[in-house]
Amino acid sequence: MMKLWFIAAFIFCHCGILFAQDYSFEVPQKEAKEEKLEWGGYLDGKYSVFHSRQSSPFYQLQFFDQGNLSQYLSQYELELYLNGDYQTKDIGFHLKTYSTYDNDSAANFHLFEGYGNVNLSLSSFIQAGKRMYNWGKGYAFNPVGYVNPFKDPENPELAQAGLMSLSFESIKNINSKVLKTIALTAIVVPPVEKINNRYAEIKNTDIAGKIYSLLWNVDVDVMGYYSKVNPIRFGADFSTNVKENIETHGELSYSKDATKNIIVNNKLSTKVQNAYSYLLGFRYLNQWNTTIIAEYYHNGIGLDKAEYTNYIDFLQHSVNSANKVAIKQALGYSQEYFKGVTLMQDYLYLKVNQPEPFNWLYFTPSAFFIYNLSDRSLLLATPLSYKPFTNSEFIFWPTFLIGNDGTEFGNKQFQQRLELRMQTYF
């Protein structure tokens, strides 16, 4: 407990130093009232067609006892994103909501963000509430994204639910040839586990901190995350322009006593270990306005090839048993302990984006793949976007999952997915 309060005091003392350097007690001159209220969002209608891989243990678990289904399944869904921002000179409130509709009995509402901010000075402010953070320089992966929401590498720009927190941020410009800017972020994260769904033990409060600096035109972050219930993590990232049209970036993270879920003798087991995760990538823009993003990602707590094979064998053994209890348990394990697109250790990501090729106005084709270096399986997608009107976009998004039996992408329950989407902005 004393250690927790010591770290909190250390972070906030450093925040105070930065804050004291630029805070002024001078009586301000009378100014015009600054007040702004904005609303926006978009409606996304999505129709999807799935080509099933019926030999997959994931498919057999999810559709067990459903009879002889067609190889082709479909899904229709409406998604509504609604955003609101109210800002004055010193205070503000920000709201982001997400709602889904499949049918009248399957409508859901989610609060992605809902937080207020108070500007203490021109360069220091406090925020409290549910907020989305974006730590790290990676595009598809963020090993140092300790406070980030879950990022889907298939759609890294998709909005996600934020984190309940209290944060302080301060930035200072420095007149130096070496160090030009320094900024400090301190975040307090309340406990997730509740007693009687209402109270929590204060000792389980988490603390995160980040120091940003601009050194010789290189963006550098050093960050840490302290917790009594989650792994303690430290990391750093960088981003710089090698040339005017070439940017390179990287992240390195160390996790102490990280938990890794594995299957041993057809039973769920947990391994505790220290692990490094890292990422290295670049972004390139050529004279034809083609953008190329490439990243290599190593997941230090991911499954190796043998561990993944044990996991798949466990799922298949549960299916073959025809025992409903075992099948329900295996499905629950896959959804809770082994979820995510990238379960294993080493991946290569590549994306190519080309706006308006051959002078085809408002049309943007792109393609990306996620390649598993361990088992040589592949996820390939080619989103095609067309924006004939200012506030509307049509997207055709085919995705192909390719790999041999026993590989990560070769074992997914669907081998192809075709999405037709219409997005209307307001």
Phi and psi torsions of 373, nearest 5°: -70, -20
Q: Is 34-425 a CATH 2.40.160.10 domain?
A: yes
Q: Considering only CA atoms, give the Rg of the chain.
A: 24
Tell whether the model's pLDDT for residue 74 goes beyond 70.
yes
Q: Can you give the pLDDT at residue 200? A: 85
Confidence of residue 14 (pLDDT cuts 50, 70, 90): very low
Q: What is the pLDDT of residue 194?
A: 80
206-239 residue pLDDT tens: 999 999 999 999 999 999 999 998 999 999 999 9
% of the chain beyond a pLDDT of 90? 78
- Would you list the domain boundaries of the chain? 34-425
Go through 40-67 and write b for each residue having 16 or more CB atoms within 10 A of its CB, e for each that does not: ebbebebebebebbeebbbbbbeeeeee
Neighbour count for residue 86 (Cβ, 10 Å):
15
363: confidence class by pLDDT, cuts 50, 70, 90? very high
Which residues in 225-253 are b (16+ Cβ under 10 Å) and which e?
A: bbbeebbbbbbbbebbeeeeeebbbbbbb
Measured CA to CA, the distance from residue 81 to residue 52 in angstroms comes to 30
**Region 137-160 average pLDDT:** 94
Tell me the CA distances in angstroms from 354 to 266, 285, 287, 365, one per residue in order: 47, 10, 11, 6
What CA–CA distance (Å, rounded) separates 141 from 119? Answer: 31
Global confidence as pTM: 0.88
pLDDT for position 122: 87
**What pLDDT was estimated at residue 199?**
84
Q: What is the mean pLDDT of the chain?
A: 90
Q: Are 36 and 15 in contact (CB under 8 A)?
A: no
